[in-house]
Amino acid sequence: MNDPYLPRSGNAGYRTTHYDLDLHYRTGAGRLAGRATISATADRVLAEFSLDLGMFRVDQVLVDGAAARYSHRAGKLRIRPATPLPAGAPFTVTVRYAGAPRPIPSRWGDLGWERLDDGALVASQPTGAPSWFPCNDHPADKASYRIAVTAKSRYTVIANGTLASREAAANTTTWVYEQPAPMPSYLATVQIGHYRLVDLAAGPIPQRAALPPRLHTQVRNDFGRQPEMMTAFERLFGPYPFSEYAVVVVDETLEVPVEAHGLSIFGANHVDGRRGFERLVAHELAHQWFGNSLTVAQWRHIWLNEGFAKYAEWLWSESSGGEPAAAHAARSRMVLAAQPQDLRVADPGVRRMFDDRVYQRGALTLHALRVLIGDAAFFALLREWTAVNRHGTVTTEAFTALAQRHAARSLDGLFAAWLYGPALPALPS
């Protein structure tokens, strides 16, 4: 399983089904000791298979409880079980490893586990997961997770899913989180810091925040409309796909917020006490549907994440009494018209995966589609899209095919122009 954009990430021959991570982190020394037990199913006879793993010392590898031979270099942990694994057979691999987690260098900067002055944060999209655990680092390989983290008791630990237990022993505390919904490795995260935990909303979908105590009042205000946002998005996109939602505000400056499975990470610079970054609150919440529940099968489909989340910003503005989406679309198109016309939204190339034009033109594609087929059909399409692909993987071709079933006329011309042509089309009226 390799992606043409990122061929060094991901591994063929098997599919993971569950990760059980038991991590011990010493914040002062910045040292991590881990035991990862990965459940998987072989796609074919496997005499050897590999995992993605960064620069750690590997102490032991077991396959189905038996010692296995292994080598570890260039970011790949290659494993040879004592006997080949039969095609279709479930198996487990346990890796014990230790070292100082180092972010993975990439064209987008260092990704993954980042040591802070007094804690740690993890932002892995798209290739940073091996900086802290062995994995099959491909977006289409989704599994359930249990993440246990032991750290000094003065720290709060946040990870994906529901907090299943928190046990103190001497001067450390072990936090155990469980995420049963299938998750790709790049959306797994751990946040360690001096956080205050607060409830933003109760009800069927608990919404919580972990924040620096000094920012309590500002966060309460800036995320104050998030419960209304959740209600609006459930009406527009369908039921929220996870059991709860959390936001973490790190006491650091982040270039952009980062989505993870069931939670989002913001920098202190995204909190001003005046809701000046509320569009980003909407963007990250929308990713729980578009990107996290519905995950791209390959990175070339990235507009299905970012274009939808950008359009959600405009929809929130419209539904909350701000400017309508049409006004945002017109302004966005005017800005894009002055920029190079050399990007194909449905296949932007690895260098432009996170180009702002992918976000903007992706959102414009959705607005053009909405204008052409009408609101009733458009939002019925979005709700069916999220329902039939819940916790699965998606492609551009699958979306355009479903959209056609909601339209009374051919959409070939619209999608050819907006998704596959480099020239910026005019918005339909």
| Tens-digit pLDDT string for the chain (429 aa) | 789 999 999 999 999 999 999 999 999 999 999 999 999 999 999 999 999 999 999 999 999 999 999 999 999 999 999 999 999 999 999 999 999 999 999 999 999 999 998 999 999 999 999 999 999 999 999 999 999 999 999 999 999 999 999 999 989 999 999 999 999 999 999 999 999 999 999 889 999 999 999 999 999 999 999 999 999 999 999 999 999 999 999 999 999 999 999 999 999 999 999 999 999 999 999 999 999 999 999 999 999 999 999 999 999 999 999 999 999 999 999 999 999 999 999 999 999 999 999 999 999 999 999 999 999 999 999 999 999 999 999 999 999 999 999 999 999 999 999 999 999 999 998
Per the structure block, which two tokens stand in for 17?
């089904």
pLDDT of residue 1: 73
> What is the third-level CATH fold of 195-288?
Zincin-like (3.30.2010)
pLDDT of residue 177: 98
Distance in angstroms (rounded) separating the CA atoms of residues 24 and 322: 47
Distance in angstroms (rounded) separating the CA atoms of residues 102 and 131: 6
> Which CATH architecture describes the domain 296-420?
Orthogonal Bundle (1.10)
Query: Across 204-356, where does the E strand assignment appear?
Result: 207-211, 245-250, 258-260, 263-267, 295-296
Q: Are 79 and 51 in contact (CB under 8 A)?
A: yes
Torsion, Cα 79 80 82 88, to 10 degrees, reads: 90
Write out the residue limits of the CATH 1.10.390.10 domain(s) in the chain.
Answer: 296-420
Write out the residue limits of the CATH 3.30.2010.30 domain(s) in the chain.
Answer: 195-288
> Which CATH architecture describes the domain 1-106+120-187?
Sandwich (2.60)
Q: Are 300 and 393 in contact (CB under 8 A)?
A: no
pLDDT of residue 397: 98
Task: Give the β-pairing of 207-211 and 245-250.
Answer: parallel
Distance in angstroms (rounded) separating the CA atoms of residues 135 and 15: 11
Q: Are 76 and 52 in contact (CB under 8 A)?
A: yes
Q: How far is CA 117 from CA 28, 139, 250, in A?
A: 8, 31, 12
- SS3 for 360? helix
Distance in angstroms (rounded) separating the CA atoms of residues 172 and 170: 6
| Strand partners of residue 28 | none
Q: State the pTM of this model.
A: 0.97
pLDDT of residue 8: 95
User: Phi then psi for 279, rounded to 5 degrees?
Assistant: -60, -30
- SS3 for 183? strand
